[in-house]
Amino acid sequence: MIMLSRFRSFVLVAVCVHVVAMPYCVGQDSSAIGSDAGSDFQQDVAAARSGNVSAQLRVGKAFFYGTNDENGKGDHSTACHWFEAASGRRSAEATAWLGSCYLNGDGLKEDKLRGGALIRSAADASDPVGIRFLALMYQDGNGVQRDYAQAFELFSKAVLLNDPNSFDRLANLYRQGLGTSKDLSKAVKLYTEGARLGDPWSQLQLAEMYYTGAEQAGLVKDSATALRLYEESAKQGNKHAAFYAGKMYATGSGTKQDYQKAVEYYLIAARRRFPPAQLCMGDAAEHGLGMSVNLFDAYAWYSLAADKGNPKAFEKLKVLTDNLSANDKAQAENRYRALRKNIEEE
């Protein structure tokens, strides 16, 4: 019989590859990531119910991103309720968020005309979040004709208003030469300033550049700095950064190999439904890397990654299943269902 171990005792393994950072969704806001859970959140909820506009906005963001939940499960419908409440009390930022919900059908029935109008009203009020959301509309061609030059102009305005979450967006345009001339040096400066202001996406992008090196911008490869930035971003709940930080600790890149630290960061990504992390957790459980061999857990994590279409997970799951008895397979399937319920349910 295979002995079960506690599922949280996993480690990132060397077979995991360094993947390209993925873009975030419209409205991603660093002030909503990594907010204190527990009593602080409950205090905010109480204040929000009493009509405190700032609290209503914070609670809305917490529900939108799931920062009040250890698995990062969002509740967009409840988030929109709080955005609407704060918007009704003349919060321009809340109006921008409500507009984003309508624009993208997040928690509300999609209505691009209404969503765009709300976002524009917030932008017209010089709200930096409203300006950023309007810039994203033009960048993505969402509700308007795509116009990178207009997006560049709006992101520039938001940066002048010191909106932390606009620095990486403007940097991305400079980096790719969209709406402006390509300028890697300016991109690095913007990522650096955004990272200093605590934006997790600027931290992620800058970490990636330090990890690989960007000689054209005068940025030499520096694994230690990359790790520091990945950790700063991961601690705010960024699953991509958590994955990379865990990988660096597991492989001893930029630091001494430390499987316990790898587990801490890796689990952030896995609980936020990141298939590469789930695949590597399966590897750790199957091969006993940093933990006892546990084929039930390996089956569960491979299955979760396979659910998301990860081809390597399908291969590993088939090989593993062929080596399980009928009784063990039934128990492994039960383990998978329990883990899926804990992590995947919305």
Query: 157-163: which pairs have CB atoms within 8 A and are 24 or more residues apart?
Result: 157/131, 158/128, 158/131, 158/132, 159/190, 161/126, 161/128, 161/131, 162/128, 162/197, 163/128, 163/129, 163/131, 163/132
* Whole-number pLDDT of residue 70: 63
Helical (H) or strand (E) element with 235:
none
Q: Output the CA angle 52-57-62, nearest 5 degrees.
A: 125
* Whole-number pLDDT of residue 302: 95
At 16, which amino acid appears? C
Query: Which position has the higher pLDDT, 81 or 265?
Result: 81
Query: Which position has the higher pLDDT, 215 or 141?
Result: 141
* Whole-number pLDDT of residue 169: 97
Euclidean distance between CA atoms 144 and 139, whole angstroms: 9
Query: Which position has the higher pLDDT, 98 or 272?
Result: 98
Write the Ramachandran bin of 337: left for phi over 0, alpha for psi from -120 to 50, otherwise beta. Answer: alpha
Query: Which position has the higher pLDDT, 256 or 34?
Result: 256
CATH code: domain 27-141 is: 1.25.40.10
Average pLDDT over residues 38-61: 92
Whether the CA torsion 96, 101, 107, 112 is positive or negative: it is positive
Q: Output the CA angle 98-23-339, nearest 5 degrees.
A: 85
Euclidean distance between CA atoms 30 and 53, whole angstroms: 19
Q: Comparing C-alpha atoms, which of 72, 46, 220, 70 is closest to residue 59?
A: 46
Rg (CA), the chain: 22
Residue spans of the domains in the chain: they are: 27-141
Whether 49 shows a pLDDT value over 60: the answer reads yes
pTM of the predicted structure, to 2 decimals: 0.79
Q: Count other C-beta atoms under 10 Å from residue 22's C-beta.
A: 10
Least confident of 15-29, 56-70, 131-145, 192-206: 15-29
* Whole-number pLDDT of residue 37: 52
Which pLDDT band, with edges at 50, 70 and 90, does 216 fall under? confident
* Contact call for residues 41 and 62 (beta carbons, < 8 A): yes
Q: Comparing C-alpha atoms, which of 236, 240, 147, 148 is closest to residue 200?
A: 236
Counting residues of the chain whose pLDDT is more than 70, the rounded percentage is 87
Whether 268 shows a pLDDT value over 90: the answer reads no
Q: Map tokens 């705010």 to a residue.
A: 236
Which pLDDT band, with edges at 50, 70 and 90, does 25 fall under? very low
Average pLDDT over residues 229-249: 94
Q: Output the CA angle 329-334-340, nearest 5 degrees.
A: 120
* Whole-number pLDDT of residue 21: 38
Euclidean distance between CA atoms 171 and 206, whole angstroms: 10
* Whole-number pLDDT of residue 17: 34
Q: What is the DSSP code string of 287-314?
A: HTSSS---HHHHHHHHHHHHHTT-HHHH
Least confident of 16-30, 215-229, 282-296, 329-343: 16-30
- Quote the tokens at residue 124: 């017209």
User: pLDDT per residue over 152-184, tens digit each?
Assistant: 999 999 999 999 999 999 999 999 999 999 999
Q: Comparing C-alpha atoms, which of 95, 236, 222, 213 is closest to residue 165?
A: 236
Please name every residue paired with 98 in a beta bridge, in sequence order, or none if there are none. Answer: none
Whether the CA torsion 231, 289, 211, 200 is positive or negative: it is negative
User: pLDDT per residue over 59-111, tens digit each?
Assistant: 999 999 887 766 567 899 999 999 999 999 999 999 999 999 999 999 999 99
* Whole-number pLDDT of residue 3: 35
Euclidean distance between CA atoms 18 and 212, whole angstroms: 10
* Whole-number pLDDT of residue 31: 53
